[in-house]
Structure 1
Amino acid sequence: MLSSAATFSFFLAIGSVIRNDALLPPHLQAAQMQFLPPLVRSRAEGAMLIRARWEAEKARRTAVAA
């Protein structure tokens, strides 16, 4: 029973470390996200970004192959 409790405590401690590794406390992160403008792009802008990335990838592959 003690080994089960120790294992459970160990995983609980790992979870709390993972949750608290942010640079800002959660209440400050929430305030920061509330005041930042949302990053919203249109479909056309998204498509242009994807095409540009594809072209850059094609150019990089052809440069490596040559």
Structure 2
Amino acid sequence: MSLISLKEREDWSYLDFLTSHHDDIVAWLSSDNWKDLDGSWATRFLCEAKRLLYQRTFID
């Protein structure tokens, strides 16, 4: 997965991210518990979105 591709999109959604990087995510999985993994990815995505929104508040 390319960090550049993540940074280029400003309207990134959780579903877009999962759809675009499905193969990479599945290849990296080390757990059989999909609920925990989904929760983990959702939490990470939401934390990053919150950080970016907070950052934009002070930039704009």
TM-score grouping bracket, smaller chain normalisation: 0.3 to 0.5
Q: TM-score normalised to the size of structure 2? A: 0.41
**Larger relative contact order, structure 1 or 2 (CA cutoff 8 Å, min sep 6):** 2
- Higher radius of gyration, 1 or 2: 1
Q: TM-score normalised to the size of structure 1? A: 0.37
